[in-house]
Every structure is written in structure tokens, then in C-alpha cells.
Amino acid sequence: SQTIHQWPATLVQPVGSPLSLECTVEGTSNPNLYWYRQAAGRGLQLLFYSVGIGQISSEVPQNLSASRPQDRQFILSSKKLLLSDSGFYLCAFGTGKAVGTDTQYFGPGTRLTVL
């Protein structure tokens, strides 16, 4: 079966420190991968998506970057965290290849608090 993992589950970091969040998928090949952020009391904002290794599309200009070093691994990074980077980060995968056919399945999330 297909599963998605995220770690860490929670993270408290000081302003200006680096960040690395990891997401891995099992049970499928060449998935579409997505990073979302959910700020307190707000909906989900798509940050990045990837349709293949090394292929990253950014939706919102910001202090974050993403990488896909392996087929089923998606990493969210920052060189220097800002207070506004606090939030709940969700990774998702989808297997639809034709336009508009993706059903996205979400990981358990990482709660990031920047102090």
C-alpha cells in the first residue's frame, strides 16, 4: 500500500537558524509531490510541487526552498528562518499523470515554531 511519512513531527527553532523537513513516500513510483503550509487559523497554501527528480516548481516567493534528490523523497529547506515561517507543514503525493487527474494524499505534518 501507499504511505507517506514526514519528520520531524514537531520542531522549535530560533530565528535565523536553518531548516530541513523531510518527506518520503512508499508504495508508488514517480509520484507528484507537494509541500503545503497551514498557518494558524488559515487554509492551506501550496508552496512547491514536483513532477520528477530535480524538477521543482515554486508557487509563492518566500524564504523557503525545496529539493527532490530521489524519486520518493521531498525536502523543504531554509537557510535562515523567519518568525513568519511558523506553521504546520504538510507534504502530499499524487499519482495522476494526465492534467487534473491527481488525487492528493497527505502526510501527518510537521508543526514548526520559530521563536
91 close to 32: Cβ distance less than 8 angstroms = no
Binding-site member from 42, 70, 77, 82 for other proteins (CB under 8 A): 42
> Counting beta carbons within 10 angstroms of the beta carbon of residue 111, is it exposed (0 to 12), middle (13 to 18) or buried (19 or more)?
middle
Q: Could you say whether residue 105 binds other proteins (CB under 8 A)?
A: yes
Q: Could you say whether residue 43 binds other proteins (CB under 8 A)?
A: yes
In one-letter notation, the amino acid at residue 96 is G
Taking the complex as a whole, the smallest distance from the CB of residue 85 to other proteins amounts, in Å, to 18
Q: Could you say whether residue 103 binds other proteins (CB under 8 A)?
A: yes
Judged by DSSP in three states, 46 sits in strand
Residues in contact with other proteins by the rule CB under 8 A: 6, 32, 42-44, 46, 49, 59, 88, 90, 92, 94, 96, 99-109, 111
